[in-house]
Amino acid sequence: MTFDELNIAEPILRAVREKGYTTPTPIQQQAIPVVARGRDIFGIAQTGTGKTAAFAIPLLQTLWQEKPRRATEDGNNPLPPRKDRKGRSHGKPKEQRVIRVLILTPTRELALQIDACFADYGKYTGLRHTAIFGGVKQRPQTDKLHQGIDILIATPGRLLDLIGQGEVHLDGLTHFVLDEADRMLDMGFISDIKRLLPMLPKKRQTLFFSATMPEAIVSLSRNMLTNPVRIEVTPVSSTVDTVAQSLYYVEKPEKKGLLVSVLKQETDKSVLVFSRTKHGADNISRTLQKAGIDNAAIHGNKSQGARQRALADFKSGKIKVMVATDIAARGIDIKELGLVINYDLPDVVETYVHRIGRTGRAGATGTALTFCSADDRSMLKDIQKLIGKQLHVISNPQ
């Protein structure tokens, strides 16, 4: 299938072609026609599958086909007159478009990535979009909002702040996207989402995306969706052939010592160490620091600033070792990742494939090491069944 067969409006198709995309990814093939018809979606997909374009393209198309809506025409509350630092009014905002699409996403990095996608695919539509997120001054963001916005990409905290200040009005909203719902839950945003939901118009299209579907996520989605179409991007079942996959049988008390000795031999590679829990990630990180191995830990309890810094240091090679939980590691796209260590086995079999797929990208050879204790044996069996091969066992050097 090609993009031409998806009936995408010409200005958007032209922009997609300019990006060099020819074939829609599986989630795009499934989601674009469904979203364009106005249906709700319950989507199970990770970042990296082309998910952003899967919702951005049809939403841009829907908005482009309607004429721009202005606040006064709709009888919605106009934005307050613009004020300077001393609180003096400066007349009416220039153009009062109505926010028709809201995309809620957990992190600033994701908000910026999504905003960049709307800039790319929407560049010939004349539609306006912006991203708002915390940790930075709000004035440049409110200035942008005052210019009139059709599509708003937001993290929960800043959105609620600006709604509270009367800077954001959602009464004209027709489409709502909740992105990375499981990560929202992990980062403690669930109460913010529950506060926000009653502020959205009941009659709207809702697109709900999550990489995993724990019970809490499924029940949240039930309150938000109307007769949704379920779209699931098939879980990976084959591991990248360029990744050498090895295994240490090691009991829990010896895992830390083994990790330190492995990392002391692999000083030139960028290494991603996976921990099952946030607490475990901090614990591993401290042990490594004590052993003189510079590292950073990222997980949902870390502040946005701390995560950004850790990621930047890891990407630039300043820090060679990153300890992460599965959810926090998602979206990390590092080309030179040489080694993935499964310090803990994941809870879900497919996650193993996602983890090791982070090394050995684009033809490079990568290595994945798995630490397996007695408790992990049955998960290991399931993983080997899924990938259809046995991991190469290395004897513990300790």
Q: Tell me the closest approach of the beta carbon of residue 185 to ligand AMP, in angstroms.
A: 20
In the block, tokens 């106009």 appear at 78
Q: Tell me the closest approach of the beta carbon of residue 48 to ligand AMP, in angstroms.
A: 5
User: N- to C-terminal Cα distance for the chain?
Assistant: 53
Q: Tell me the closest approach of the beta carbon of residue 331 to ligand AMP, in angstroms.
A: 7
Q: Tell me the closest approach of the beta carbon of residue 7 to ligand AMP, in angstroms.
A: 16
Q: Tell me the closest approach of the beta carbon of residue 177 to ligand AMP, in angstroms.
A: 12
Nearer to ligand AMP, 25 or 308 (CB): 25
Nearer to ligand AMP, 53 or 341 (CB): 53
- In the chain, DSSP assigns E strands to 41-44, 101-104, 129-132, 151-154, 175-178, 205-210, 229-232, 243-249, 270-274, 295-298, 321-324, 337-342, 366-372, 392-394
Nearer to ligand AMP, 339 or 353 (CB): 353
The answer to whether 35 and 175 have CB atoms below 8 angstroms apart is no
Side by side, the strands of the sheet bearing 321-324 are 295-298, 321-324, 270-274, 337-342, 366-372, 243-249, 392-394
> What are the start-end ranges of the H helices in 266-398?
278-290, 304-316, 326-329, 349-356, 377-387
Q: Tell me the closest approach of the beta carbon of residue 257 to ligand AMP, in angstroms.
A: 38
Nearer to ligand AMP, 16 or 152 (CB): 16
Number of Cβ within 10 Å of residue 236's Cβ equals: 16
Nearer to ligand AMP, 134 or 331 (CB): 331
Q: Tell me the closest approach of the beta carbon of residue 113 to ligand AMP, in angstroms.
A: 6
Q: Tell me the closest approach of the beta carbon of residue 51 to ligand AMP, in angstroms.
A: 4
Q: Tell me the closest approach of the beta carbon of residue 168 to ligand AMP, in angstroms.
A: 25
- Name the closest residue to ligand AMP (Cβ): 52
CA distance 312 to 307: 9
Nearer to ligand AMP, 337 or 341 (CB): 337
Number of Cβ within 10 Å of residue 116's Cβ equals: 14
CA distance 133 to 244: 40
To the nearest 5 percent, what fractions of the chain are helix, strand and coil? 40, 20, 40
Nearer to ligand AMP, 332 or 369 (CB): 332
Residues β-bridged to residue 340 = 272, 368
Nearer to ligand AMP, 14 or 90 (CB): 14
What is the contact surface with ligand AMP in residues (CB under 6 A)?
Answer: 21, 23-25, 28, 47-53
- Output the DSSP codes for 88-152: -B--S-S--BPP-EEEE-S-HHHHHHHHHHHHHHTTTTT--EEEE-SSS-SHHHHHHHHT--SEE
Helix, strand, or coil here: 52?
helix
Q: Tell me the closest approach of the beta carbon of residue 153 to ligand AMP, in angstroms.
A: 13
Q: Tell me the closest approach of the beta carbon of residue 315 to ligand AMP, in angstroms.
A: 15
Long-range CB contacts for residues 12-15, cutoff 8 Å, separation at least 24: 12/57, 12/60, 12/61, 12/64, 12/121, 12/122, 12/124, 12/125, 14/124, 15/120, 15/121, 15/122, 15/123, 15/124
To 5 degrees, how large is the angle CA 87–CA 89–CA 94? Answer: 130
Nearer to ligand AMP, 119 or 364 (CB): 119
